[in-house]
């Protein structure tokens, strides 16, 4: 029960890595606030928590809105009095096209959901953690935050931003008992990255992507979440400002 009695916020918890993370933290004793713009997915995650006897709450939030995030956090503090761990995990993949073919609307959407939302979250979360004497923030980036990823300029830019914000904020608040890290997974089989669906629209691409991974396979969400659990635990008490690759050796 590594996180017994901890209040943990997980955005994008209605599916994929966020859902697996919410369930994993709940199993370790945390009270989990499940956040997603997808109400159906968020409630489904909440129901899974209830089935294992865990404590959880769902809130429908558009994380790309500062006002909605602010209202959400105010509600958490009013109800629980604190926020121990925040997982800024919500994100979208964006268009799989070359740079000149990205529309301005697509660019703005990816940056808003993947980058601005993390800034909004950290701004609000750090303010609260300063008041309560500490806390932990973990941002979901990607290997696209550590290297280039052709045909995904907007996504790559947004994830580089997440890594940069993580490192900067971690340095600023390291002496305030606030640890801030990022997780950088390779292609992970989720709703966001479905190799079978990708094969239908881009034949041969999934196999090509897999061949570029030294382990010759895609990541399982559980493998990513295991790293997230460690980064948020006391076992990682001296780890901050890191962008941890969980990538089967891609960035080695």
Tokens of 145: 């935050």
Q: Are strands 135-140 and 85-88 parallel, antiparallel or unpaired?
A: parallel
> How many Cβ atoms are within 10 Å of 140's Cβ, its own excluded?
27
Classified as helix, coil or strand, 78 is helix
| CA gap 179, 56 in Å, rounded | 24
Which residues pair with residue 219 across a beta bridge? 188
Place of tokens 């890595």: 17
CA atoms within 13 A on the CB side of 58: 23
Strand duo 178-185 + 135-140: pairing = parallel
State yes or no: is 155 an active-site residue: yes
43: exposed, middle or buried (Cβ count in 10 Å: 0-12, 13-18, 19+): middle
C-beta separation of 202 from 233 below 8 A = no
Distance, CA of 198 to chain centre:
22
91 close to 140: Cβ distance less than 8 angstroms = yes
| DSSP code string of 151-218 | T-HHHHHHHHHHHHHHHHHHHHHGGGTEEEEEEEE-SB-SSSS-HHHHHHHSTTHHHHHHHTSTTSSP
Query: Which residue out of 57, 120, 155, 173 is catalytically annotated?
Result: 155
Catalytic positions, written as ranges: 155
């Amino acid at each position: 029960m590594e996180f017994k009695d901890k209040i943990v916020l997980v955005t994008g918890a209605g599916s994929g890595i966020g859902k697996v993370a919410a369930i994993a933290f709940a199993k370790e004793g945390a009270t989990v606030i499940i956040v997603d713009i997808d109400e159906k997915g968020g409630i489904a995650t909440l129901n899974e928590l209830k089935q294992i006897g865990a404590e959880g709450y769902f809130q429908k939030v558009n994380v790309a809105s500062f006002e909605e995030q602010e209202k959400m956090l105010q509600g958490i503090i009013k109800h629980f009095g604190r926020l121990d761990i925040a997982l800024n995990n919500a994100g979208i993949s964006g268009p799989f096209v070359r740079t000149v073919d990205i529309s301005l609307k697509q660019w703005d959407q990816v940056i808003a959901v993947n980058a601005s939302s993390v800034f909004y979250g950290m701004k609000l979360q750090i303010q609260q953690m300063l008041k309560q004497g500490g806390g932990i923030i973990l941002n979901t980036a990607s290997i696209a935050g550590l290297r280039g990823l052709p045909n995904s300029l907007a996504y790559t830019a947004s994830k580089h931003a997440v890594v940069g914000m993580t490192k900067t904020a971690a340095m600023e608040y390291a002496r305030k008992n606030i640890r801030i890290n990022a997780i950088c997974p390779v292609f992970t089989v989720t709703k966001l990255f479905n190799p079978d669906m990708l094969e239908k629209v881009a034949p041969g691409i999934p196999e090509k992507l897999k061949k570029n991974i030294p382990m010759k396979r895609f990541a399982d969400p559980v493998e990513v979440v295991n790293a997230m659990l460690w980064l948020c635990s006391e076992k990682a008490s001296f780890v901050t400002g890191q962008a941890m690759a969980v990538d089967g050796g891609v960035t080695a």
